[in-house]
Structure 1
Amino acid sequence: MNRKLSRRHFTLGALSLTGMGHAYAQSSASSAPQSAKPTSRTICFVGGYTKHGPPGGAGNGEGIAVFEMSRENGSLTPITTFTDIASPSFITLSKDHRFLYALSEISDFNKDGDGSVTAFAVDRSTGSLKKLNVVSSGGAVPAHLSIHHSGRYVLVANYMGGCVAVLPIRSDGSLGEATDVIHNTGPRQPERASDNPEGNFAVSDHSGSHPHMIHSDPSGRFVLADDAGLDRVYVWTLDLTTGTLKPAKKPYYDMLPGSAPRHFEFDRTGKILYNLCEQDSKVIVSTFNPSVGSITNLQSVSTVTSHFRGSTLAAEILISASGKFVYASNRLGDSLAVFKIADDGTLTLEDEVWMHADYGRAMMFDPSGEYLFCANQRSDAVTSFKVDKANGRLSFTENFTAVGSPTTFAFMNTEV
C-alpha cells in the first residue's frame, strides 16, 4: 500500500517547474497566453531496514520511501511511502523504468527460511508503485539483486543462505520461481585481512559463504558474484533459455584472505573491474577479459587516507558517468573517497569527504550526475553532495533527508 505522508510531518511546497513561461502573441486586438509546456520530475526511491528485518537487524524504516528531487539544490521532498514490504534493503529499476524489484532482507518468508523478492509496476508519469507479486529469493537474508543485461532475469545474492539465485522475469514484469540456485563452498577464511588499516577492530563474517553482490558484465556474457565470506569472485555464464548458471573456464578468483569482497563496478569498456573489499577498505583494480571471463589484478588502493587510524568497513563503489572518477563509501570512518582514474584504469586517491552522518552505505548519482546521494543507516538520514564534473570533487549541499535506516537508492525521471 502507498501511505501518503501527513501534513503534521511534512509540508509539500509548490513545485518549481522550469521552462514554463507564457508566450504572448502580439496583435492589435489582444494578446493571449499559449499553453505551458510540461516538464519531467526526478523521482528518488529509498529503501532500508524495517521492524521486520534480518535476525538482529531490525530498523526504523517503513518501506520504500518515494521523493521528488530538486534539480536546483539536490534536496528531497517526500511524496509517499510504500509500506507493504519488509526490509527492502536493496532495490533496482528496469532499464525502461517500467518495473522495480526489491529484495526483503529476511529469513522467514517461507518454511525454508528464505528471503523474498517483490516485483512492482512503476507509473512512469508519477513514480507510484503497484505490487505485482512476491517470490522466494532462493536463500536466507538476500543482500543484493540486479537485472541481467538481457532484461530477462533478476539475479539475487543471498548473504546468509550462502547462495545465488536466478529469477525469471515474466512478460508482465512479475517474477517466476527460481530457475537456478547455486551454493558456494570453500575453506574458512580469517575475520581480518593482513593489510588492515592500523587500529581497525571491525571484522567481516567469514563463518561460511556470504555472497554480497551479483551482476552481469557489460557484455552480458558473464555473471560475477562477490562472496564476502569465502573471499572469492565467482564467474559464470547464464543460459538465457533455461535460466541456469554454468561455471566459467576459471570458476572463481581468490582475493586476499579476510578482505571480504563486497561490491564491484566495471568501466565503460567492460575491460576494467573495480572490486571493493569491505574488511580492509581496499579497491582491487583488475583487467577483465570479456571473451573468456578472466580476471588479472593490477592494483590495490586504500579507500582511506594514509593518516587514518581506527575502525572502518568499506560499503559501496561507483563510477562517474564521465568514466573519470571512482567513489567509495566507508562505514565507521564515515567518509567518501574520491579517486581519479588513469588511462590504464589504475586509481589515485584525490580526496576524502566527511559524510556528515553515521554509517553511510549505499551511494548513487541522480540521473544528471550533478548530485551524489549517501544513505546513512545509523543516522536515519540521506545526505547529498554537489559533484564537480571537472575534477570529481564533492561539496556538501547541507541537505539532510529523514529516512529510517536507509540503505539503497533508485532514481528515475518521470515521463511527460
Structure 2
Amino acid sequence: MTMPFSRRNLLLALAASGTAPLASSLTGPRPARAAIPAMSRTLCYIGGYNKHAPPGGAGNGQGIAIFEMNRVTGGLIPVSTFMDIASPSFITMSADSRFLYALSEIDDFNADHDGSVTAFSVDRTSGELNRLNVVSSGGAVPAHLSVHRAGHHVLVANYVGGSVGVLPIRPDGSLGEPTDVVHNTGPHMPERAEDNPPGNFAISDHSGSHVHMVASDPSGRFVVACDAGLDRVYVWTLDLASGKLRPAATPFINLIPGSAPRHFAFSKDGRTIYILCEQDSKVVVASFDPRTGALVPQQKVSTVTSYFQGSTLAAEILISPNGRYVYASNRLGDSLAIFRVGPDGSLTLIDEVWMHADYGRAMVFDPSGTFLYCANQRSDSVTSFRVNPETGALDFNWHFTAIGSPTTFAFLQI
C-alpha cells in the first residue's frame, strides 16, 4: 500500500516558509537550481522499525518512505510511503537501480522463526516500489543485506540466527529461496571489551553468533562478514554457479574479546578494510589481500576523543567519495567522528561533531557526495550535513526530516 502526498502543495508550503529555494514570485527570476534538468530528480528511500517486530524491537515507522532531495539545500521532501512491510531496518539497491531489496527484522516469517527479504522493482519514472516477492532470510532477525558484486545474489546477515544467507536473484529481479545458510560457532565472549571508553555501561550481546554485516570485497572474489557476537571477521568465497559459500584460506580473524565488530568499509583499491567495533567504539584498520582474502590488523583508533567519558556504541562507518576521509557514528554519545586517511591507509581522528539528534545509526552520502545524512532512531528524525571534500568537515544544515525510527537509506537518481 502506498500513501501519496501532494508534492505540489508541499513545495508551495515549503516555499512560503522559506525552506524551499523557489522563486519569490511566479514571474520573478528562476533560482539557481533551475540549471538541473526538469526530469532529473534525486530520491531517498528510508526504512526503519515499525510495529511488526520481535518483542522489544518495535518502532514508530510506517514502512519504506520515499523522499525527494533538494540538491541545493539537502532538504528531504516527502513523496510517498510503501507501508505493507514489517520493520524494513535495512535496504539496498541493485547496481543498476532497477531493484530494491529490503529485509524485515522479524522472527515470525515462517515456522522456523526466520526473518524475510522482500524484492521490489523500482519505477524509473516515479520511483514507486512494486513488490515482486518475499522469501526467508535464512535465519532470525536479519540486520543487514547487500547485493554481491557479480549481481546474482543477495547476501543477508541474520543477527539472532547467527548465520549468513545467500539468496539467488532471478532474471526479473525477484529472489529465490536461500541456496546456502552458514551458521557461525565459537567460544562465549564477554559483554564488554577491556579497552572501553571510561564509564561505558553499554553492552553488546555476546550470547552467541550475531552476524551484523555481510558484503563482498570490491573485487567480488570474497565475501566478508562481521560477527558481533563472536568478535570475529569471517571471509568466504562464493561459488556463483551453486550459490554456496566456502571458507577462505584464513576463514576468520579474532578481534578484541567483547569489542563486537559491527560494520566495515573497504578502500577503493580493496586493499584496506576499516572495521567498526560497536562495543568499544574503535575502528580496526586492516590490510586485505585481494588474492587470498587474508586480513591483517594494522591499527586501532577510537571513534571518540580522549576527553569523552560515558556510554557509547559505534554504529556505522563510511569512506568519503574521494577516499580521503572516514566517518563513523556513535550512538548514545550522539556524535560523528571524522578521520583523515593517511597515505598508508591509517586513520587520524580530526574532529567529533554533534549529530543534533539522538541515537544516530545509519549514515549515507547523497549520490553527489555533497551531503551526509544520519538516521537518528530514537529521535525519529534524519539530520544532514554539508560535506567539505577538501577538509572533511561536516557543516550542519539545519534540516530535520521527521520519520519514525529510521535506520537505513538508499538513493536513486531519475
**Could you tell me which residue of structure 2 aligns to residue 400 of structure 1?**
400
1:85-114 deviation digits (Å, cap 9, x = unpaired): 000000000111000000000000001100
How many pairs align?
Answer: 396
Native 8 Å contact 1:261 1:277 kept in 2:
yes
**Could you tell me which residue of structure 2 aligns to residue 212 of structure 1?**
212
**1:59 is paired with a residue of what secondary structure?**
coil
Alpha-carbon separation, structure 2, partners of 1:226 and 1:133: 28
Determine which structure has more spread, i.e. the larger CA radius of gyration.
1
Alpha-carbon separation, structure 2, partners of 1:388 and 1:220: 31
Write the mapping of 1:266-277 to structure 2, written as runs, cut at 5 A: 266-277=266-277
**2:10 is paired with a residue of what secondary structure?**
coil
**1:11 is paired with a residue of what secondary structure?**
helix
Alpha-carbon separation, structure 2, partners of 1:387 and 1:125: 29
1:29-53 deviation digits (Å, cap 9, x = unpaired): xxxxxxx963411100000000001
Write the mapping of 1:221-370 to structure 2, written as runs, cut at 5 A: 221-370=221-370
Alpha-carbon separation, structure 1, partners of 2:174 and 2:2: 19
Mark the runs of 5 or more structure 1 residues left unpaired by the alignment.
19-35
**1:336 is paired with a residue of what secondary structure?**
strand
Alpha-carbon separation, structure 1, partners of 2:254 and 2:22: 52
Native 8 Å contact 1:383 1:399 kept in 2:
yes
Alpha-carbon separation, structure 2, partners of 1:95 and 1:396: 30
1:207-253 deviation digits (Å, cap 9, x = unpaired): 00000000000001100000000000010000000000000011110
Deviation at residue 390 of structure 1 after TM alignment: 0.6
Alpha-carbon separation, structure 1, partners of 2:307 and 2:237: 42
Alpha-carbon separation, structure 2, partners of 1:17 and 1:398: 18
Deviation at residue 6 of structure 1 after TM alignment: 6.8
- Matched to 1:408, the amino acid is T
Alpha-carbon separation, structure 2, partners of 1:260 and 1:54: 22
**Could you tell me which residue of structure 1 aligns to residue 30 of structure 2?**
none
Q: Does 1:386 align with 2:386?
A: yes
**Could you tell me which residue of structure 2 aligns to residue 32 of structure 1?**
none
- Matched to 1:95, the amino acid is A
Native 8 Å contact 1:12 1:78 kept in 2:
no
Deviation at residue 126 of structure 1 after TM alignment: 1.7
Deviation at residue 17 of structure 1 after TM alignment: 9.0
**Could you tell me which residue of structure 2 aligns to residue 142 of structure 1?**
142
Deviation at residue 12 of structure 1 after TM alignment: 3.8
Alpha-carbon separation, structure 2, partners of 1:163 and 1:253: 17
Native 8 Å contact 1:55 1:106 kept in 2:
no
TM-score by length of 2: 0.94
Alpha-carbon separation, structure 1, partners of 2:160 and 2:347: 32
**Could you tell me which residue of structure 1 aligns to residue 376 of structure 2?**
376
Distance 1:17 1:236, change over 3 A: farther
1:119-145 deviation digits (Å, cap 9, x = unpaired): 000012221100000000000000000
Alpha-carbon separation, structure 1, partners of 2:209 and 2:53: 20
Structure 1 stretches of at least 4 aligned residues deviating more than 3 Å after TM superposition:
12-18, 36-39
Alpha-carbon separation, structure 2, partners of 1:269 and 1:57: 38
Alpha-carbon separation, structure 1, partners of 2:136 and 2:264: 25
TM-score by length of 1: 0.93
CA RMSD of aligned residues (A): 1.6
**Could you tell me which residue of structure 2 aligns to residue 29 of structure 1?**
none
**2:85 is paired with a residue of what secondary structure?**
coil
Mark the runs of 5 or more structure 2 residues left unpaired by the alignment.
24-35
Alpha-carbon separation, structure 2, partners of 1:38 and 1:395: 28
**2:236 is paired with a residue of what secondary structure?**
strand
Deviation at residue 54 of structure 1 after TM alignment: 2.5
**Could you tell me which residue of structure 2 aligns to residue 81 of structure 1?**
81
Alpha-carbon separation, structure 1, partners of 2:395 and 2:325: 15
**Could you tell me which residue of structure 2 aligns to residue 95 of structure 1?**
95
Deviation at residue 4 of structure 1 after TM alignment: 1.4
- Matched to 1:11, the amino acid is L
Alpha-carbon separation, structure 1, partners of 2:124 and 2:157: 28
- Matched to 2:227, the amino acid is D
- Matched to 1:394, the amino acid is L
Alpha-carbon separation, structure 2, partners of 1:268 and 1:39: 31
**Could you tell me which residue of structure 2 aligns to residue 11 of structure 1?**
10
- Matched to 2:48, the amino acid is G
Alpha-carbon separation, structure 1, partners of 2:83 and 2:136: 19
Alpha-carbon separation, structure 1, partners of 2:190 and 2:145: 26
Alpha-carbon separation, structure 2, partners of 1:330 and 1:384: 15
- Percent identical across equivalent pairs? 68
Distance 1:145 1:252, change over 3 A: same
**Could you tell me which residue of structure 2 aligns to residue 411 of structure 1?**
411
